[in-house]
Structure 1
């Protein structure tokens, strides 16, 4: 492993209710880079992100942040260094977006303006659409400019245009900071990110540059499909074909 990793997972194992969710995951994540985390449902993507963020304890193994064991750092220190965006977020109180932002930074007005969310400032969380919540939560997480950003499928509730813009913005952030994003859209993951980590059954099955992983037949095995590789220069698109006839019963 590299000695210059900003975030390092060392032999992470997580078991819940007799099921192993992560099985010996080791990763080095540098101070800069745009990383997509992909894999089939149940592969352990969200679990791994929670462990990396310090939101979930592993049964064994360790996460290190800039060399220090993450478990030994206080919550405020972790919060300053790691921005975490979960799949779903429900504040304890039905706060307005401006109040939520004020919990993160003193100048909520400026932060909302930078995120182009001023029209939503007075709206309560319950009044926001799924896409508006996603944009608001990401803006709140980014308001403190954390060195590490971990986002779990941040574009799931957005329409195509906003999802593309969001993913591209996160990938650009990886030029200066560490960004790790759980993705279900494989085409966007391989197109926008410089490194793709493929999880399968709680283990790292593949890890590398998109161009190399795209052509690897192991990708088909992990997802249990036949991928047709379609060249759309400068990118390659994936079209999945089932390996077996679909049985609705």
Structure 2
């Protein structure tokens, strides 16, 4: 991919905390359009990478660029308008209403009432953050992030607190958004990752272990090694489902 086609880039990103290396030399080139799933075992570095790509944290080494410019060259407001970031957990400093939270995101871009109505969340608008369920918070936060229609969306486990119906709808909406914008989603649901996304990046031990289309990665034995299980590949046309089974214990000889 040429530099002119890279929307969000990372070069040799490394980060350590308390003597533990969280990221180890990650380089990525992400285009202006595409739905990218970021998967890997717990502790692989998915959330840390999204934090660095969003500018929420600074790397010990390496750099992040947005449209060919260093990310730090953008003001906080400029960055917020270009990169929508949905963390795994969000707690505002004050117990504001959802309507107030959205209003903070859309100054001059429209009304909070319109944003909530478009997301079918208007009944939640007057409620304070502390009274919302995990699923309601996730849906409200996503509506607030998307209100500015950023060219880049980074989401960390956005469906974790949602029921099955809303999780499927959310993943489908994010995948469709990838037709016109760049969407990067950290997730644990491997079937949805391989079924709905154009590109899958597999992280392991703070590194990018695999990177390619679902068709390229789905049958690779390395996938089983990374997750420490045996995946049974089940044909469910037009898709392949993964059923994880424990790996047989090796007997001592």
Q: TM-score, normalised by structure 2?
A: 0.95
**Contact persistence 1:2–1:28 (CA under 8 A):** no
For 1:213 and 1:167, the matched residues in 2 are separated by: 20
User: What are the within-5 Å matches in structure 2 for residues 221-240 of structure 1?
Assistant: 221-240=225-244
Residue 231 of structure 2: SS of its match in structure 1?
Answer: strand
Structure 2 residue 204 is the aligned partner of structure 1 residue 203? no
Q: 2:146 aligns with which of 137, 142, 145?
A: 142
For 2:40 and 2:195, the matched residues in 1 are separated by: 16
Structure 1: any 5+ residue segments left out of the alignment?
none
Deviation, 1:72, is 2.1
- 1:100 counterpart residue number: 101
Q: Provide runs of 4+ in structure 1 moved above 4 Å.
A: none
Residue 13 of structure 1: SS of its match in structure 2?
Answer: strand
For 2:112 and 2:203, the matched residues in 1 are separated by: 37
For 1:15 and 1:194, the matched residues in 2 are separated by: 30
For 1:2 and 1:12, the matched residues in 2 are separated by: 20
Q: 1:126 aligns with which of 125, 130, 142?
A: 130
For 1:105 and 1:58, the matched residues in 2 are separated by: 29
Structure 2 residue 83 is the aligned partner of structure 1 residue 82? yes
Deviation, 1:244, is 4.4
For 1:244 and 1:98, the matched residues in 2 are separated by: 52
Deviation, 1:105, is 1.4
User: What are the within-5 Å matches in structure 2 for residues 43-54 of structure 1?
Assistant: 43-54=44-55
Q: Deviations over 1:169-219 (max 9, x none)?
A: 000000000000001000010001010000000111000000110011110
Q: How many residues align?
A: 245
